[in-house]
Amino acid sequence: MKQALWRALRRVAWGVLVIAGVASLSFVVAQLLPGDPARMMVGPQASPADVAHVRELYGLDRPLPVQYARYWGRLVHLARATPEAPVDRAQHRSCASLGAGIHVDLGYSFLYRRPVVDLLAAKIPRSAELAAAAVTVQLALGLLLGVAAAARRGTRWDDAAMGVSLLGVSAPTFLVGLLLQYLLAYKLGWFPLDGYGATAGDHLRSLVLPALTLGVFGSALMARLIREELGRVLAEDFVRTARAKGASPARILVVHGLRNALMPVATVAALELGTLVGGAVVTERLFRWPGVGQMAVEALLNRDAPVIFGTVLFTSAAVVTATVVLDLCVGVLDPRLRR
Amino acid sequence: MTGPLGDAWARFRRSRSAVLGLALCAALVTFALAGPWIARWDPNASDFALSRSPLGAPPGPSAAHWLGTDHLFRDVFSRLASGARLSLAIGVLATALATGIGAAVGVLAGMTEGTRLGAVDTLAMRLVDVLLALPFLLFVTAVGVAVGHTDVGTVLLVLGCVGWTGTARLVRARTLQIRALDYVTAARALGAGPWRIAGRHVLPNLAGALAVVAGSSVAQMILAEAVLGYLTVGIQPPRATWGRMLHEAEPFLGTRPALLAIPGFAILLAVLGWNRVGDGLRDAFAGGRDGDPVRAGSLLPRRGNLPVDLLLAGATLLLLSFATPNQVAPPRGPAPDREAERRGGVFHVATFVNVRSLDPALAFDEASNPLVALIFARLVTWDAGGQIAPDLAASFTESPDGLTYTFELREGARFHDGSPVLARDVQRSLERLLHPRTPSPAASEYAAIQGYAAFHAGRAPHLEGVRVLGDRLVSVQLAEPDAAFLSKMTLGFAAPVCAAAGAAAEAHGQALPCGAGPFRVASWDPDKGASLVRHEGYYAPGRPLLDGIEWAVNVPSTTQRYKFERGDLDYVTELTGADRDLYLASQAWSRLGRWRVHAQTNAIFLNTEVAPFDRREIRRAVAFAVDPGAAARMRSDVIEADRVIPPGIPGPPRTEPMRRHDPAAALAAMARAGYPFDPRTGEGGWPDPIDYLTIPDTGDQQYAEIWQQQLARVGLRLRLRLVTYASFLAESQRRHGAAMGRAGWSADYPDPGNFFEPTLSTAAIQDEGSDNVSFFSSPELDGVLARAHGEPDRARRDALYLRAEEIIRDEAPWIPTHGTRTYELWQPYVHGYAPHPVLRQRFADVWIDRGAEGALSLSGLLPSRRRRR
């Protein structure tokens, strides 16, 4: 038990190191790319004098190591308020408070002219929601098709399911999104065209189309994987024994079949969740879903370093968390691998 | 063939599905190899003799072009054939690379986990973590920058590097499971080494899962190449790949769906064939192996199964190809009574860009300006005749020496917060604009104001040149005459702002925008848009007529069209080309829309300090060889241009053409330059390819592909260099950065000086960040521009700018090619809107009359609501 705990801690520590490393790398690479953030802020038609003025105002003319040090310096700091010395609002305008006087400061975005923590706080939950919905769609559709195909292997059902999944796996996301929007929102009017929705009901309806768009590829892949793994497991001797003992088909499928095929399914699902949380740009743009993806792309294209740093910090954290959780749950997924 | 291989082949042959797949693959490969021989056309050559269909789509199948042409009039069949090689190769090779690396790393990691070599597993998995966490876009951009010109190798490298991580994790997980099985333990006990275990037990059990992953990967790799194309790291245009063809056909989904269906179907066929072969191989080899559970039934012939996937795909293709072009819904409701103006109603507008700031001192982009104009009134504005007219200033005078401007403010002009607009507010607002802490993009436009330098640098507490002469009387003193000064006072930068806006425009200020315009801001969310309501204290009595305006942002063009049709939007100007052509073709709608010509010039810039364009004769050859008329035939929003100043900007008369297309003169100029070219043999011309800098996925990329063909005819071979916008600015604005590319200028204010001074004068040259991207320096031009800058007499000024145009024509640092126009369309119940000669989207005088639908109330920022009739 103590060994397991020790291993878990080591894994988590590695994860944190990876996150910090990747975010730093992104910051450095973004700064080294050609392109002048000051120029991007004032537009192509501003005179060189105005560009220089803005560059100086934002400290963009300072050398790279200085800027880098500034970010890390202010990233996490303490700001305890006492009655004699209340927290100076102006100094801490771009900070987010985590309670107990701990502040996180990711700086200001050049492009959006707002604190990066505000931007992230607004958009992360939206992306997370969409990712969760997409993975739910993937699992549901994937399981449905995959199990149907595996249980009736070699029949018309199998062919139909695999045919549909093949289409799903070959279709480009933007085309799927366009078609879904055209058919279901525009022609039939069942769902809103875009946006986030104002009320809870509207919101759920707005979630459907983007989740479906994102889920198509993943569900097709999942279906094929499940069919493959489940088919292999169902042909094993112990399943034949279970059938001979009189177990119902449902029990065989779920208890004996799926439980053994869980590992690859969980891997794919976790990875998808981790990466999708970072934002699915095309879908977010098409359905005007206010997520992180679109912001990350714009930030990179406009050389907006604080936002790049902030979004990469977040997206890498999402992916690393997914993989760490997966690693820690290996024992649960397959008891044969428990030490 | 006997033995295990022979058995496998026999099993494979018996599966109809696998054989079908093999046939498909063989057919595609044959097409790829032989296609270019069968096709009659050069896949990269436009057939300039063609023109678009009445609905604006490229021409369809004909005797000359079997599958029709694409948006640049290039033969689709030829492009499909030439793209087949690249796409198939990339799809298969990238998949093999990614799957191979992933499987190798996964097995290695899985086998060494927990053993003495456990560090290998840890290292591999941490590497996977890092790669998974690394943002794809950043990685790709960095690669694009590091590699100068991307080609197939780069694409394979990127796709291979990125694609293996997921597979590796999957394979490792499976390997761990297999390793823990009883019979593997038994094998180890019998003395089997790790290699034997891996080869004999692990890999065969992985084959199924790997086949699934690899199969789904082929299509993704082909499509990913197209994505890499927009990220500037793909196969350089004009070379065709299926993914790129699919992407370029996207705008024509409604009008020529076959353009999408053809490459899409080709990709589908490749994937289907590949997957079936993969399945067949796996089943064939699985049949005879020890330890494999699929035994029973594998030797019996499989029943003929319906190729469901092929049927589905075929049905989709048929549906798409023969679908009738999208029709537009007719205008809703009867034409309401136009006579009497009606007060009330909410006007809905949308834009697809992000509006970043509504602070008039900071907002500079095309998307913000119309919004800012509704919120912030200026001292002076433009009237419908294109003349400067009073706005907040009831009257204004200019001193005879052109150095002093006096403005008298109206009585009763009020800000949104209720306070009156006084002379000291004008002073405060100008000082706010030019404050040292304000990151304004246009401060230097007002550099002529006396005391600017000291105040802007923070050395003086006030702007000396702005003087408050009375409650409502203010004067601005210039240090030197500026003929365009009044034009600059019509800009948002000079608009008076409320006192709450502070002494400097804090870039991170959160206060709601507050000015003296006809509408005030009720709410503003940069992700959703702005909600404006009528300013009850506006100085014009009874105005504005609208209760409010809802201005949504980030709405894509296709969605705008859907909303417009459903009545959720009252005005659109950002329709896709295909949608716009549909509306133009519709009788009912065409009388409700107008073209608005942009005050903008697009040109090709030639860097006069970089070979070969340091030679004037070669620049002249380019000027004669380029024919923008071809671009105008391909897109209805392009207008040919022959000079720097666009139409609509007051300037010298445009009676004679300034530049003409003359291929013979071009060839003569090349000969004079010492690089004669013989068009029949293709010998001669400039020996090296010249890089043309452009941004992928833009109109300019399309024009570049046209100029490429036209310049090849005079011996100048262009190579497209795709970069992102930020890189484009950095490279083109750097000395010796780029030889040629796109240049252009949008009018900041309607004055010819605005088009020459920032772009072609010697003063505009910098080593970095130079707006004079041709690095063109002509003392004569500088002299002409300097005289015209302060010249008060209109006729003399026009003559000076005419001379400037002639200099540019003769020296050819810029080749002006075209101007653009957009189509504006509004609902039949929208009145009072007319395109203004200077101001865009001027909605202050609009009124709406929805007749039976009645007045609508302010609804906040709901993205889309069905209208209930």
Q: Per residue in A114-140, pLDDT tens? A: 888 888 988 888 888 899 999 999 999
Percent of chain A, pLDDT > 90? 7
Q: Please answer yes or no on whether A301 and B725 come within 8 Å at the CB atom.
A: yes
Q: What are phi and psi of B339, to 5 degrees?
A: -65, -60
Q: Please answer yes or no on whether A337 and B507 come within 8 Å at the CB atom.
A: no
Q: Of B778, B505, B732, nearest to B603 (Cα)?
A: B732
**The dihedral of CA B296, B299, B304, B309: what is its sign?**
positive
Each residue's pLDDT tens digit, B554-609: 888 888 988 898 889 999 999 888 788 888 888 888 888 899 898 999 999 999 99
DSSP string, B286-338: HTT-TT-S--TTSSSPPPP---HHHHHHHHHHHHHHHPPPPPPPPPPS-----
Q: Please answer yes or no on whether B173 and A263 come within 8 Å at the CB atom.
A: yes
Size of interface A-B (CB pairs under 8 A): 287
A332 has pLDDT over 80: no
In three-state form (DSSP H/G/I as H, E/B as E, the rest C), the secondary structure along A76-141 is EEECCCCCCCCCCCCCCCCEEECCCCEEEECCECCCCCCEHHHHHHHHHHHHHHHHHHHHHHHHHH
Q: Do the strands B677-678 and B638-640 form a parallel or antiparallel pair, or are they unpaired?
A: unpaired
Higher pLDDT, B716 or B232: B716
Contacts 24+ apart (CB under 8 A), B181-185: B181/A336, B183/B291
CA angle B850, B855, B856 (to 5 degrees): 105
Mean pLDDT of the A298-322 span: 86
Higher pLDDT, B99 or A252: B99
Q: Which among A33, A45, A51 has the least Cβ separation from residue B142?
A: A33
- Could you tell me where the DSSP H helices lie in B357-500? 368-375, 423-433, 452-456, 485-489
User: For residue B741, how many C-alpha atoms fall within 13 Å in the half-sphere facing its CB?
Assistant: 27
| Tally of CB atoms within 10 A around B221 | 24
Backbone torsion region of residue B94, taken as left when φ is above 0, otherwise alpha when ψ lies between -120 and 50, otherwise beta: alpha
B551 has pLDDT over 60: yes
Each residue's pLDDT tens digit, A154-170: 777 887 888 788 778 77
pLDDT number for residue B639: 92
C-alpha to C-alpha distance for A160 and A142, rounded to whole angstroms: 14
C-alpha to C-alpha distance for B486 and B792, rounded to whole angstroms: 12
Residues from chain B that touch A320, judged by Cβ atoms under 8 A, are 129, 132-133
C-alpha to C-alpha distance for B254 and B57, rounded to whole angstroms: 9
| Tally of CB atoms within 10 A around B648 | 17
Strands (E) in B750-789, as ranges, are: none
Q: Please answer yes or no on whether B766 and A48 come within 8 Å at the CB atom.
A: yes
Residue B748 near chain A (CB below 8 Å): yes
Higher pLDDT, A298 or B620: B620
In B, minimum Cα distance to A233 occurs at B293
Each residue's pLDDT tens digit, B697-723: 788 888 999 999 999 999 999 998 888
DSSP string, B75-118: BHHHHHHHHHHHHHHHHHHHHHHHHHHHHHHHHHHHHHTTSTTH
DSSP string, A175-230: HHHHHHIIIIIIIS-SS-SSS--SSHHHHHHHHHHHHHHHHHHHHHHHHHHHHHHH
Q: What is the dihedral of CA B21, B22, B23, B24, to 10 degrees?
A: 50
> What is the pLDDT confidence band of residue A78, given thresholds at 50, 70 and 90?
low
> What is the pLDDT confidence band of residue A86, given thresholds at 50, 70 and 90?
low
- Could you tell me where the DSSP H helices lie in A235-291? 237-244, 249-251, 259-260, 262-277, 281-286
Each residue's pLDDT tens digit, A89-99: 666 767 777 76
Contact present, B162 and B79 (Cβ < 8 Å): no
Those residues with Cβ within 8 angstroms of residue B201's Cβ, 6 or more apart along the chain or in another chain: B178, B181, B183, B184, B187, B291
User: If contacts are CB pairs under 8 Å, which of residues 610-669 in chain B contact chain A?
Assistant: none
Residues from chain A that touch B746, judged by Cβ atoms under 8 A, are 45
User: Where is mean pLDDT largest: B263-267, B341-345, B380-384?
Assistant: B380-384
Q: Please answer yes or no on whether B508 and A114 come within 8 Å at the CB atom.
A: yes
B855 has pLDDT over 50: no
Contact present, B569 and B368 (Cβ < 8 Å): no
Average pLDDT, chain B: 85
Which stretch of DSSP H or E encloses residue B137? helix B136-146
pLDDT number for residue B360: 93
C-alpha to C-alpha distance for B275 and A227, rounded to whole angstroms: 15
Q: Which among B128, B174, B441 has the least Cβ separation from residue A42?
A: B441
B323 has pLDDT over 70: no
Q: What is the dihedral of CA B830, B835, B838, B842, to 10 degrees?
A: 10
Q: Of B837, B864, B847, B843, nearest to B388 (Cα)?
A: B837
Sheet harboring B346-350: ordered strands across?
B346-350, B548-552, B529-534, B519-525
Residue B260 near chain A (CB below 8 Å): yes
Q: Please answer yes or no on whether B137 and A47 come within 8 Å at the CB atom.
A: no
Please give the span between the terminal C-alpha atoms of chain A, in angstroms, as a whole number.
Answer: 10
